[in-house]
Every structure is written in structure tokens, then in C-alpha cells.
Structure 1
Amino acid sequence: MRPYKVILSGGGTGGHIYPAIAIAREIQKRYPDTEFLFVGANDRMEMEKVPQAGFKIEGLWISGIQRSLSLENLKFPFKLLSSLRKSNQILKRFQPDVVIGTGGFASGPLLKKATSKKIPALIQEQNSYAGITNKLLSKSVQKICVAYDRMDRFFPEDKIIKTGNPVRDDLLTIASKREEALSKYGLSSDKKTVLVIGGSLGARAINELVGKQLDFFAKHDVQLLWQTGKFYYEQYKHLASNSVQVMAFIDQMDLAYAAADIIISRAGAGSVSELCIVGKATVFIPSPNVAEDHQTKNALAITAENAAVLIRENELDEKFETELELLLQDKEQREALGTAIKALALPDATKHIVDEVEKLLPSRE
């Protein structure tokens, strides 16, 4: 009985990479002899993160089109042709039983070639507003796993399955980890803890905000766990103190979430899905610099259920202190937001996605 062969393609950000790894691990649980190959974009973070997770990866020479006028855009047609050609070679050599796309630059050429060869394919759309690559691919793939309602605005309705987004298993048990978390970070149980996360690379506006608001946090006797992202750590590390922990990257997010009373976060799809599982009072500050402003749309999908606070970047000076003061002083409001956001969680997303993948696999009998 030959093992299944599965290609997963996606990357550019952790929001595309970690779901792909979670899906691969769930397939591996069910079929331990499965052969996996990841396909990513050269020079992007997947080329590092996927091998660290124990999987092989090949890179394509591909990137997105810049929204500003750029010489890089002139290279795009050549990158696309190169990526289509290499995708064809990879498919011919590896001969997968199924191909899974989780978004990002590389998934476009790879899935385009796979579907033209009649290889079964599934895409996993993390956002509430579909990206152009997945909209184009939706016509030719068999299944589309989504995390939000009303996605038939973008995709054929008969292909859509609402599964949610994969999240890390360790987030399912944070309620029992608070003491361990406070101990790890040297935090006091008598003070409120605010966790600030702007993504693995960081978020300039959020870092600038926190840097300016340290006196506000000190006045309210708040402890801070502040992930600056690797690009900004050197700029802000001098602000660390007994009550302000400045980190480039948090390696145990489950413990950081367990310690937090309030979370300040971007609104990427992966972050939103994790925060629904975590069930803590959350302030979303979406990045306005992403395709189709999808982070704002993700955050609006949550605030429409009265399950989080949304502050746009251009409103931070006007609204931040007022909104934070309210949350810090009103325990009932914090608990209400935590309960409401947790009600939106889909904790078995990875299993449900792999259930759909299984339906595309050939029989091994």
C-alpha cells in the first residue's frame, strides 16, 4: 500500500504558514506514512519555519504586485512564468494525490498548475474578505474551507465548507496555565496584564503607540508583555523595566495569552482565530496596509457580535486612552467581551479541514 503524497502551498506570513503546518500534522496523525512537500516563496519566512517544523520545502521565485509604482512590478510577469514552470516540474516529479493551498504568493502558480492537471485541490481561506489569488483559484478547486459566513460573495456556494482556521492545540488549555504563565514572566497576580502583539514581524503603529503610552500604563499600575516583532526590537528594547517586558518574539504564546487580562492585537486571520479560542478582552488595531483592507474587515466581523473593541490607526490618539481605561476599570466589560469572542471560536477547525481533504484522497485498497 503506497503512502499518500500531499503538497501544501502557502506563505509570506505566519498566518499562511502555521495553518499549513497544522493541517499537515493532522494528516500525519491519521496517515503516519504520508509524504509531504511544502511549496513557498523564496526569501520568505516559510523557507525557515517549515524546515523547523520538520517538513521539506521548495521555493518559487514569486512575490506580490506592489500597490505603489515600483520597479519590482516590472519583474512580476517573469516571476510568474518562472513559478508556473517550476510548479509544473515539482508536480511532475512529486506526483501528489492532493494539493492544499493556504494563501500567499506561492499558492497561486502551484494550484493553477495542479488543477490544470486534474489533481484534486482544496484551498483554505482564512480571512473574511477573500484575496484575489483564492478568488481566481476557486473556479478550479474542489473544496474551499472558510472561517466566516457570507463567503459566497467570493466563491461558488456549493464548494464552501465553514471549518474555521487552524490554531495551535496548546491554546485549548490556557485556562489551567495562568499560574505557570505568571511565574514564567515574573508577573504579579495583583496587577492587570496587557499583552501587546503586532505579528511576528511587528507593527510600527502599535509599537509607536505603546512607546508613547508607557506613562498611561504606569499610572494604571499595569504590567506589559510587549512583542515588538524582530524588525523593531532594537528600537524599543531600552524601554524594558520591571513592569514592561519587551520581546522580539514570544515563543510560548499559550502562556502569554494565559497571563493576559487584555490583549492588543492586529487583526490578521490567524490572530483573530486564536483570540476567539483564548477568550480574553481584545482591542483590535487592524493594519490598513494590507490587500483589500482585510484586517479591518476581519475585526468588524468580530465587533459586529459585540465581541471586541476596534480602534483604527487614524483614531488611536483620540480613542486609545478612553477605551483602555474603560476596560481596565470595568471587570464585567472585560468578562463580557471574553465570553462573546469565545462563543465565536471554532476549535476543531484543523480536524474538519482534514475531513474534507480525506474526501479528495484516492482509496488505498
Structure 2
Amino acid sequence: MKVLMAGGGTAGHINPGLAIANYLKQKHPDAQIKFVGTERGLETRLVTREGYELELIKVRGFKRKLSFDTIIAIKELFQGMVEARKIIKRYKPDIVIGTGGYVCGPVLFNAAMMKIPTLIHEQNAYPGVTNKILSRYADAVAISFKESEKYFKSAKKIALTGNPVRDEILHTDKVSARKRLGISSNSRVVVVVGGSRGAQNINNSVVDMLKKYYNSNDFNIIFATGEAQYDRTMESLGKDIAPTVEVVPYIYNAADVYAAADLMVCRAGAITLSELTAMGIPAILIPSPFVTANHQEYNARSLEKNGAAVVILEKELSGNVLYNQIMSLLKNREQLSRMASNSKKMGITNATEKIYSMIREVMKQKGKL
């Protein structure tokens, strides 16, 4: 089996591709898998670190306003189309899989025109423009939120598979996680994380909350600032940090820390939400307003609608608002338990297996299996 994976830009597009590739390798140890990306995306680090071959093409996103950048984007699109076609003709894949990002456009479109089996995986509730266009040509579309189905009306086949979730997330429980972390079973634990790079407005609000409203007997807090913002955040907090507050630049043991939480405060990236729902963790979601098409708010509203989370928009966020919302949920154990149950109901823990079934079905239809 020869597989060509296209996906790039952010970890949210790349990690699902890697999860699919790793699962394919488990099922077919002799499978050949190659990725296509761009030199500007995180794939240059993440894909090669996993040991997969990566080929690069030229392509970039279009800005809404006509400018010199638009001309460059058009030029690179045509260049990327030519480069992608050359890669496909040389590699001769049995299937081409796209997991999002501008790089998918030239690769998946060329593959579809060459009658090669194609599958798109969409991570978000509100799909990216590239995937919406490609869905007209691809053989199948795998979605992660039921809400995104209405945006793929032209798709030949569509199925709800969810987002692939890391194995360690699926095999961790609260009791054992708290033992490993040295956290009492009686403690109420809130985990705050704004992403690997941090979220300045979330950090500022947490600092304000800790300095003005928080008492050490309220709850334990694990606060990940993001590596780039750690020093500045610590300087803002000062030296008098309560012993019930742990401030770290980054959470490396995410499975244990998440499992130990009674409540998460975080962004609404698709992979993060898939992990939270797989573990059944109630959340206060603060969607990033700086993402394409405001897709994080669509993700967050999906959980809110199902009673698994509370949404605070960043423009409404403050230390006082955050503190009051945390305390309101922690004091209402019945509501928190109900949110955890609703979150768990939304969780999909076998996404990779479902995507694999779709891959096999598409390949059979095209005579590749």
C-alpha cells in the first residue's frame, strides 16, 4: 500500500495525519507513506520527527483583500499544482489523504483528476475553505463534528469519524493520574492552558484572578502559560504565589494532568476538544478570535449546545468573570457531573479505526484493494 498524506500549517492539521499514518503502519507494516507540506508549516518539524518522508511544494493562502500578496499566492498556487502533479506521477500512490491546510488543494485536486482514491479529514465544526472546495472532488469526507455535515452538501460520501486521539489519553484515569502527580483525591483541581505558545489574554485574566479574587482554599490550579510567555507571566504574578498554584511553561504529561482535572479552562481547538470529550472532562472554553473563519467558536458552541462546556468569549473575559465561572461550576457538583457525562457522550475514541474503514472502502471502490 502506497499512501500520500497532505496536510500542513498547524499541529491541528498535521497530528491527525500522523495518527492516521501510524495506524496504517500498524495495520500494514510494509505500507509506504509519504507526506506533502510547505516549508512554512510545522510539518517540517513534526513529520520528519516521526520518521516519515516529507516533500515540499509552493502554496499559500489567499488574503481577502486584493494586494501584491494575492498575486504571489496565485503564482504559487499554479506552481504548487505543477509540483504536486509531479510528486503524484512519480510516487504513484494507491490513495491520497488530506487533513487540512492550503497544501491539500493542489495535492488532492490533482489526485482526484487522475482518478486516484481520495479522502479528506476535517477536524473542525466549521470547515476550512480548502476542504469545502475539495469535497466536490474527493471520494469521501470524514468529519469530526456533526455540525460540519451541512457544509459538505456536494460530497460523494460523508461519515462522522471524530478526530484521532493519542493512545495515552485513552488509557489514563483520574485516580492513577492523581497518584502519579501527588494530588490528593479530595482536592478540586482546575487546569488552565492556552496552547503551546500561550494566550496572552487568558494569561492576563488568570494573573488578575489569582492576585485579586483567588483564595488558596478555593481550588488547586495548574496553570500553563506557554513557553514564550512564562517569564513575563511569572513577573506579573510576583513572589507570593500560593502553594496550591502550580505555574508551568508547558504541560508535557498532558494525559495525567488532564485526567486529574475536575475542570479545564482552555482554547477550543479541534484536537483539544476531542481529547477532553474522550476523557469526559467538563470545560470552560475561551475560543481564540484570531483563527480562520472563527472556527474555534463553532467548535466551542458544539460542546456548549450538548451541555459539556461553558463558553466565555475573549472580549468578555476578565479575572473576575473567570473566577466567578470557575467557582459557580465547582460549587455545583451536580452540574459538573452532568457536564462530565455529556462530554463523555460526545467523545469518539475509535476515530482512527473509523477513518481506516473509510480508506479501505474508498480503495475497494477504485479497485486498489
Provide the TM-score with structure 2 as the length reference: 0.90
Question: How many Å apart are 1:113 and its aligned residue?
Answer: 1.6
Q: Is residue 161 from structure 1 mapped to residue 159 from structure 2 by the alignment?
A: yes
Other structure's SS at 2:75 match: helix
* Contact kept? 1:276, 1:343, Cα under 8 Å: yes
* Contact kept? 1:6, 1:35, Cα under 8 Å: yes
Between 1:89-98 and 1:248-257, the stretch displaced more is: 248-257
Distance in 2 of aligned mates of 1:193 and 1:74: 51
Q: 1:72 to 1:222 in 2, by over 3 A?
A: farther
Counting only pairs closer than 5 Å after superposition, residues 175-324 of structure 1 correspond to structure 2 as 175=173, 178-184=175-181, 186-215=182-211, 216-238=213-235, 239=237, 241=241, 242-317=243-318, 319-324=321-326
Matched with 1:172 is: 170
Matched with 2:46 is: 49
* Contact kept? 2:98, 2:119, Cα under 8 Å: yes
Q: What is the identity, as a one-letter code, of the residue corresponding to 1:165?
A: N
Q: 1:95 to 1:246 in 2, by over 3 A?
A: farther
* Contact kept? 1:193, 1:260, Cα under 8 Å: yes
Question: How many Å apart are 1:211 and its aligned residue?
Answer: 2.1
Other structure's SS at 2:358 match: helix
Other structure's SS at 1:231 match: helix
Show CA shifts across 1:235-284 (max 9, x none): 22444854333333322221111121110111111111111111112001
* Contact kept? 1:193, 1:222, Cα under 8 Å: yes
Distance in 1 of aligned mates of 2:76 and 2:69: 10
Q: What is the identity, as a one-letter code, of the residue corresponding to 2:307?
A: N
Distance in 2 of aligned mates of 1:243 and 1:149: 39
Other structure's SS at 2:141 match: strand
Distance in 2 of aligned mates of 1:157 and 1:92: 25
Question: How many Å apart are 1:182 and its aligned residue?
Answer: 4.8
Distance in 2 of aligned mates of 1:349 and 1:82: 34
Counting only pairs closer than 5 Å after superposition, residues 85-124 of structure 1 correspond to structure 2 as 85-124=82-121
Q: 1:248 to 1:76 in 2, by over 3 A?
A: farther
Distance in 2 of aligned mates of 1:73 and 1:54: 35
Other structure's SS at 1:314 match: helix
Other structure's SS at 1:343 match: helix
* Contact kept? 1:5, 1:96, Cα under 8 Å: yes
Distance in 1 of aligned mates of 2:69 and 2:282: 41
Question: How many Å apart are 1:7 and its aligned residue?
Answer: 0.9
Distance in 2 of aligned mates of 1:227 and 1:306: 25
Question: How many Å apart are 1:152 and its aligned residue?
Answer: 4.0
Other structure's SS at 2:171 match: helix
Matched with 2:35 is: 38
- Identity over aligned pairs, percent: 36
Q: 1:98 to 1:157 in 2, by over 3 A?
A: closer
Distance in 2 of aligned mates of 1:214 and 1:182: 26
Partner residue of 2:354 out of 346, 352, 357: 352
Distance in 2 of aligned mates of 1:245 and 1:59: 41
Q: 1:210 to 1:140 in 2, by over 3 A?
A: same
Question: How many Å apart are 1:71 and its aligned residue?
Answer: 5.5
Distance in 2 of aligned mates of 1:165 and 1:79: 30
Matched with 1:340 is: 342
Distance in 2 of aligned mates of 1:82 and 1:266: 35
Q: 1:87 to 1:237 in 2, by over 3 A?
A: farther
Partner residue of 2:73 out of 76, 86, 92: 76
Q: 1:201 to 1:89 in 2, by over 3 A?
A: farther
Question: How many Å apart are 1:32 and its aligned residue?
Answer: 0.8
Show CA shifts across 1:66-89 (max 9, x none): 457875444211222222222122
How many corresponding residue pairs? Answer: 360
Distance in 1 of aligned mates of 2:65 and 2:191: 33
Q: Is residue 130 from structure 1 mapped to residue 127 from structure 2 by the alignment?
A: yes
Q: 1:243 to 1:99 in 2, by over 3 A?
A: same
Gaps in structure 2 of 5+ consecutive residues: none
Distance in 2 of aligned mates of 1:150 and 1:284: 18
Other structure's SS at 2:336 match: helix
Question: How many Å apart are 1:54 and its aligned residue?
Answer: 2.2
Q: Is residue 15 from structure 1 mapped to residue 34 from structure 2 by the alignment?
A: no
* Contact kept? 1:14, 1:200, Cα under 8 Å: no
Between 1:186-195 and 1:286-295, the stretch displaced more is: 186-195
Q: 1:22 to 1:188 in 2, by over 3 A?
A: same
Distance in 2 of aligned mates of 1:195 and 1:254: 12
Question: How many Å apart are 1:24 and its aligned residue?
Answer: 0.8
Distance in 2 of aligned mates of 1:292 and 1:198: 19
Q: RMSD of the alignment, in Å?
A: 2.3
Partner residue of 1:361 out of 354, 360, 363: 363
Distance in 2 of aligned mates of 1:354 and 1:197: 31
